[in-house]
Amino acid sequence: MPTRSEIAAFAAPAFWLSLAGAVTLALLPHPPELHQLGDKAQHMLAFGTLALLGAFAFPRFSKMHLAERLSFLGALVEVLQAIPALHRDCDIRDWIADTIAIAAVLAVLHVLGLRRAAR
């Protein structure tokens, strides 16, 4: 079984790389399209992944604070997508999808006790 430090050693860089990738893709004027997944599913996959990695990368950080920060990031991305030069759409439903995915992943981790086991 990996130790807490081994999990964090993998999860922290994976979190930051995933965060950079998600924000970059969200702000590209013409991002690659995943036709298999709808827009909301792409948002939920990105923010669910960030929540999962964040929970293991920063086990001492409160789940509520992690959820708050990631949800704020989702809202910020939507505001930035309103910049006309990006040719993107600002949609509050995308932010809601982000927040639902974050809450769902962190709730599952809480119920399963996986985050505490990582400590």
Indicate yes or no: pTM above 0.85: yes
Pair of tokens at residue 87: 């040719």
Which tens digit of pLDDT belongs to each residue from 31-74?
Answer: 887 778 888 999 999 999 999 999 999 988 999 999 999 999 99
Rounded Cα distance, 64 and 49, in Å? 16
Q: Give percent above pLDDT 70 in the chain.
A: 95
Which sign does the torsion angle of CA 109, 94, 46, 68 carry?
negative
